[in-house]
Structure 1
Amino acid sequence: MKGFTLIETMVAIAILALSIVGPMMVANRAIVAAETSRDQLTASYLAQEGIEYVRAVRDDTYLSTYPANTANAWPNFLNSSAVSPCRFPGSCSLEPSTPEPVVCTSGCPSFSLVTNGTKFTRTIQLVTVTGTEESIISKVSWSFHSVPYSVTITDHLTSWQ
């Protein structure tokens, strides 16, 4: 008998299809993993920037009272318009175009700034640990292919006195 039977032909086509589709699926997964890693790195930088923002406000408040009355630096920092909206139970988000935080009202974890055209949402919250120590929680969340992701960085800030 010459030629291929129908079953042999179907098996050959299946093997050929798997040899083409398999590497394409692996490549697709690698691309998705690379994009997710890129977004995670960006979110980590944004979360760290949120921590640095609060630290800079603390430093500026201290330097504005130096050397005359540094005892008031910590209360002034906690009550400043740049930080007080971010204190627990509230939280805030940073608008890149202004120096002041945007206060989150109800539904803050889903709060986002549509004016900046980014898929990342950053919220900052300060929680009192002691009278001279605040815990800073900076959370960046985003969604990729309808899967939610988030990065949270926590740091502690103390009074310089």
Structure 2
Amino acid sequence: MEHPTYQLNVRYAVEFVKQLLPQVDAATSLILVGDLSQCRGKLDGAVREAIEVENPVFSQSYGHLTIPLSGLNKYELKKNVLHRIGLRQLITEVQMERYGRLLCHAPNKFNDPAQLSDWFRPHFVQELAHEGIITLAEASVQRVSSVKERPFRFQFAYQ
């Protein structure tokens, strides 16, 4: 049975990411791109990469942070990190990926529609809509996005 992919508008970014965390396993990574100056926490296995920015003054604070979603990291994100990092103000891109498959992509500080893959069951997405965390823009059966096709404004080369 194929589940649809969703285009949705996120009303509450922090709560949206918190609700996604229990739906994924430890093979999934959360990727944050943007101003990481407020990302301070004990996150096991987190990898930070520098990105190029127009103004070199900000080069130390901007980056690409990949966080493996182990049980301890999920707890730390929910309790101490997500509400402090400025998902709508400082973080430009939020993604979740699992073995190269893009599960969630929220571009442009959640101002543009976010995308959820068919990994998330329709019942879960309807619950998010019912709770007012998101509003559905579109649901359709599409091909799976992979990491190679990332819709980043910032392109990164993995080695």
TM-score by length of 2: 0.27
Question: Higher RCO, 1 or 2 (CA under 8 Å, sep at least 6)?
Answer: 2
Structure ID, larger Rg: 1
Name whichever structure is richer in strand by fraction: 2
